[in-house]
Chains A and B, each alone.
Chain A
Amino acid sequence: MKFNYFHLMPWTDIEEVDQDWPVANKRFVPDRATALYETYIDTMVYAEECGFDWIGCNEHHFSPYGLMSNCNLIGTVLIQRTERARIAMFGNLVPLLNPIRVAEEYAMLDVMSGGRLIAGFMRGIPHEYVAYNVAPSESWERLEEASELILKAWTEPEPFGWEGKHYKYRAVSIWPRPIQQPHPPILMSASSPESARFAARHRAKMGMVMLTDLDAAKDCIRIYKETAREHGWEPALDDILIGAHTCVAEDDEEARRHLGGGLDYFYHVLFGGPRTAQRLVIQKTRFYEDEANRRNIGTRLAALRGTTIEERVDRGLVLCGTPDRVVEQIRHLKAELGHGVMNINMKIGNIPNAVVRRSMTLWGEHVAPAVRDL
């Protein structure tokens, strides 16, 4: 089994609940952020030393819950400071961006890293569409067209133009082209049946960054595999990534206290503003085309907010406890889901960085060696 170390880079200096969207940045303190970026980047670099196979970057906008508005910038730093870990992008939010720019920057990252890029073609979550003023109801068709255009930009040896519904270019010939041939592996979100189908149709790795329900995860994996077979290919083990919030500590109680506190802070403080925009998008647009899916997502997210850490542990949705306990939990998840990559997010909300670092060390010394061969 492979492991990805994922980091949201949250801003952790606010205490009050803010439900407005966008979240006012008057409480942002640049000097403090300089220190946070330094800490967070050091932490991500340390992941390689702790045995993580991938290091995951992501893209979020206009919110204190994630300071990585451009994952490619962080990826550039990481490839300079790591040697073997793959850099897995849980951005770029392709429908919101210029696809040619995405193709170029990914190609640069791939070449500069010697072929370590896993290229995310992400649709993004609802509030990002408000941030970048793109119609949420166009998200799927933009993702579809942009994905095809990026692949063309990577693989076409002759200059070409593109005449499409959302993108028009008369002459494209990017320099550099990627080092991985025919192109870097693609990672797409697959947290719903429709996104699982989409990822499989595009021969992408599927990612469920955060488990919300084991049965729902099984369903998405089944749909992903079935759709892949319908399209003539068989997913490999490391094409299926499942994520869990994680805290490893010397004793179970300490781990639960830290993870529970961090999750409360994340859901009730950091995610308040984005939730407001998310509610608007889900209620007022066709971001989720399928009505049942729309209801499920809303219900699931609301339920998750009110779930205690004990319930999360019992339902197998988080990895939390001593190294031995976490090994057990990973084995259980593997038996249930049959995935090949785990996405590990340890900096949840305001969990202190020293606690995160200790969790990583315990992971590297005790957990990774025990689960490597799963």
Chain B
Amino acid sequence: MAFDEHRVDLSGGPLTYRVAGEGPPVIHMHGASGFRETAALAALAGSFRIYAPVAPGFDDTPTHADLASMEALARLDAEFADAVIGETTDVVGHSFGGWRAAWYTVLHPERVGQLVLECPSGFREDGDGGLPSDAAELQRRLYAHPEKAPPETKPEPVLSRNRQTPAQFHGGKAMDEALVERLGEIEALTLILHGTRDGVVPASGARLLKSRIPRSFLIYVYDAAHAIEVDQPEFFVGLVTDFFARGEAFLVNPGVGGRAA
């Protein structure tokens, strides 16, 4: 399912976003490499209407003046949601997008139904993990199955700029202490996904989130590295769809017929 590109003018400037699918609205927040139309995201659009706002500066989009923190980005996301969607949505954030989604949920709880944090960065104890400059090592940390990764279509200047952009929001810090302090405020039912072979965000980060977010579930996705959507798309889609559909009842095995009761 192809994503259409749109643009909306917000108070700080224009914001590019992608849309696909029909169903309950879900905001998807991309990782540090910008928006990627993965097979998993396309499959998710089979059940939901996916809105994917591109953080200003990524994918050759214009930056906004004074947009220099994760909190400011979350406020922009709220403005986007009000302008384009106009109702509470479920939210999925991957890596940098998970960090962004967590701030969005802390600052704008009324706009979030359920939250999925897929290998969120910003919770790297002692600076472990991260995105190395060596290309081979980066691939190893990102993918358990690099053969499943879609071919790169973005030109090198865009990729290069994407690599620089996250630091404009988070200043390059590995652990967002201010956010950690506020994780307890998240009331949304939250699913934390972590790849068992993730080389970018250590498992301690996922564990920290689980211990701080009151109504949260942590699931390890086996044989997946940081890019769970790429390594194990069926697991990812199945988990997210089931979580959004059944809420906390997704803990209960629905049986062969698909109904728990």
A interface, CB within 8 angstroms of B: 145, 148-149, 152, 156-165, 167, 170-171
Q: Which residues of A contact B220 (CB under 8 A)?
A: 152, 160-163
Chain A binding site: helix, strand, loop or mixed by DSSP?
mixed
* Bound-complex Cα distance A152 to B195 (A): 13
Chain A residue at minimum C-beta to C-beta distance from B210: A158
Assuming the contacts A158-B207, A159-B210, A160-B210, asked whether A170 and B219 have C-beta atoms less than 8 A apart, the reply is yes
Q: Bound complex: CA of A165 vs CA of B223, how far in Å?
A: 9
Are A164 and B222 neighbours in the complex by a CB distance under 8 Å?
yes
**Do residues B196 and A161 form an inter-chain contact, with CB atoms below 8 A?**
no
Best-surrounded residue of B218, B221, B232, B239 (most CB of chain A within 10 A): B218
Assuming the A-B contacts A158-B211, A171-B251, are A163 and B219 also in contact, with contact meaning beta carbons closer than 8 angstroms in the complex? yes
Closest to B222 in A: A164
- Cα distance A131–B246 in the bound complex, in angstroms: 37
Knowing A170-B250, A171-B251, say if A160 contacts B222 (CB, 8 Å): no
Bound CA span A161–B222, Å: 10
- Report the minimal beta-carbon distance from A160 to chain B, rounded to whole angstroms: 5
Q: Is the CB of A156 within 8 A of B207?
A: yes
Question: Shortest beta-carbon distance, B14 to chain A, in Å?
Answer: 38
Q: Assess the B232–A163 pair: CB atoms within 8 A.
A: yes
Apart from A157-B207, A159-B217, A160-B210, what are 8 other A-B pairs with CB-CB below 8 Å?
A149-B222, A152-B220, A159-B210, A160-B219, A161-B220, A162-B220, A163-B235, A167-B222
- Which of chain A's residues have a CB closer than 8 A to the CB of B250? 170
Q: What 1/0 mask marks residues of chain B from 206 to 237 whose CB sits below 8 Å from any chain A CB? A: 01001100000111111100000000100100
Nearest residue, chain A, Cβ from B239: A163
Cross-chain contact B219 with A162 (CB below 8 angstroms) = yes
- Report Cα–Cα, A156/B210, bound state, in Å: 11
The 8 closest A-B pairs by CB, nearest first: A164-B222, A161-B219, A158-B210, A170-B251, A163-B235, A160-B218, A163-B221, A171-B251
**Best-surrounded residue of B211, B223, B232 (most CB of chain A within 10 A):** B223
Determine the distance from Cα of A162 to Cα of B210 in the docked complex, in whole angstroms. Answer: 14
A148–B219 CB distance below 8 A: no
> Which residue of B217, B222, B251 contacts A165 across the interface (Cβ within 8 Å)?
B222
Complex alpha-carbon distance, A167 and B196, angstroms: 14
Contact B218 A162 (CB under 8 A): no
State the Cβ distance, B37 to closest chain A Cβ, in Å.
Answer: 23
Contact sample, A vs B, 11 pairs, CB 8 Å cutoff? A158-B211, A158-B218, A159-B217, A160-B219, A161-B220, A162-B222, A163-B220, A163-B239, A164-B223, A167-B222, A171-B217
Q: Which residues of B contact A149 (CB under 8 A)?
A: 222
**A161–B218 CA distance with the chains assembled, in angstroms:** 6
Q: Which residue of B lies closest to A169 (CB)?
A: B219
> Could you say which residues of chain B place their CB within 8 Å of the CB of A161?
217-220
Are B217 and A148 in contact, with the CB atoms below 8 A? no
- Chain B residues in 8 Å Cβ range of A158: 207, 210-211, 218
Q: Which single member of A163, A170, A171 contacts B222 (CB below 8 Å)?
A: A163
Known: A162-B222, A163-B222. A170 touches B207 (CB 8 A): no
Given B210, B222, B232, which contacts A148 in the complex, CB threshold below 8 Å?
B222
Tell me which residues across on chain B come within 8 A of A160, comparing CB atoms.
Answer: 210, 218-220
B191 nearest CB neighbor, chain A only: A161
Contacts of B253 in A (CB 8 A): 170
On chain A, the residues within 8 Å of B252 by CB distance are: 170
Contacting residue for B218 out of A145, A159, A164, A165, CB 8 A: A159
Closest B residue, CB atoms, query A148: B196
> What is the bound-complex CA distance between A371 and B191, given in angstroms?
56
Question: B222 — which chain A residues lie within 8 A by C-beta?
Answer: 145, 148-149, 162-165, 167
Question: What CA separation (Å) do A164 and B231 show in the bound complex?
Answer: 12
Q: How far is the CA of A162 from the CA of B196 in the complex (A)?
A: 10
Q: In the assembly, what is the distance between CA of A165 and CA of B252, in Å?
A: 19
Q: Which residues of A lie under 8 Å from residue B238 when comparing CB positions?
A: 163
State the CA gap A209–B250 with chains docked (Å): 44
Cα-based distance from A160 to B217 in the complex (angstroms): 7
For A152, the closest partner residue in chain B by CB is B220
With a CB–CB cut-off of 8 A, which chain B residues contact A145?
Answer: 222-223
A320–B218 alpha-carbon span in the complex (Å)? 55
Q: Which residue of the partner chain A has the closest CB to B193?
A: A163
